[in-house]
Amino acid sequence: MSTASRSSSRSQKKSNSPYFPESRSIATESLHAQSEKLSSRSTSQLVKIFIDEERKVEEAIRTQSKQLVQAVDLIHHAFREKGRLIYLGAGTSGRLGVLDASEIPPTFGFPPNRVIGLIAGGKKAVFKSQEGAEDQLTGAESELKRLKLRKNDVVCGIAASGRTPYVLGALFFARAQKAKTILITCNPLRKKRISVDVAIDLPTGPEIIAGSTRLKAGTATKVVLNLLTSISMIQLGRVQGGRMTHLHASNQKLQDRAIRNVMTLGGRTRRESEQLLIQHQWKVDQVMAFLQLR
């Protein structure tokens, strides 16, 4: 068989795969009603169009309230059982997972190995696009094996289209390991190619720039990830009175925040709060425990 024939055969096999549906069936790939005349719009008109579109993000998230409750409960239970939350995604979706995972330790003092972000193409894909990596159905398996995936872990796949092979393959592998699974998409009409414990399908609709899921889909996904982990941390007691009680006070801004937290929660003066924090290596939770024991 010639090189061209082999290439054609591979393409045909790929197009017939259930993991590679036609893009026209994906909501985020559809053409928006206001897209065709974008080039003729003024700057003020374009700004208004983009702002108006963002209003649909909140509406989309509200439709998934029940599923969000289920997802938070899964994650909270996993954390209580010493399990982990592992995000998986490609491109924008993967970067959002990595971002959320990276923000948990400094904000909530939660161990960095308990919320993990994996992205198709590896760490280099965070900074430079590695588009082909998302088509690798088994691309995440080696990473999940390295992490020794366990049944008390939660694997959260993020795919705006709902069809990214890298994500679906990882979820399939996770289910085989008896781990809990969540899938976040912006394509409610997607074909259900894999069974998961919780599916969050956000109806954000077509993007102003067709297929650019860094727009509404990205915004909605970021809000959902914030919600999942922030509520889980509240339920673990790492927030009191709306304040971070386990933050890492690693710079002047965070040290000032830690002082104010102790002042408010512990009823101490600024000077007393600062002295207590210095004595306890700037750990708010340890200061609060010390004050409660006195």
Cα gap 147→140, rounded to integer Å: 11
| Residue among 275, 106, 270 nearest 261 (CA) | 270
Backbone angles phi, psi at 182, to 5 degrees: -130, 140
Cα 255 to chain center, whole Å? 28
Provide the residue type at 51 as one letter. Answer: I
| Residue listed under structure tokens 């490609």 | 90
Find, among 91, 97, 141, the residue nearest to 118 by Cα: 97
Closest CA to 282 of 260, 269, 268: 260
Neighbours of 110 (CB within 10 A): 19
Catalytic site includes residue 103? yes
Q: Which amino acid appears at position 211 of this protein?
A: G
- b/e per residue 263-294 (b: at least 16 CB within 10 A): bebbebeeeebbebbeebebbbbbbbeeeeee
State both tokens at 270.
């600024």
Q: Is 134 a catalytic residue?
A: yes
The two structure tokens encoding residue 229:
């982990």
C-alpha distances (whole Å) from 240 to each of 100, 227, 244, 265 are: 21, 17, 7, 8
- Which of 103, 141, 143, 272 is the catalytic position? 103
Write down the catalytic residue from 53, 134, 207, 274.
134
**Could you list the active site residues?**
103, 134
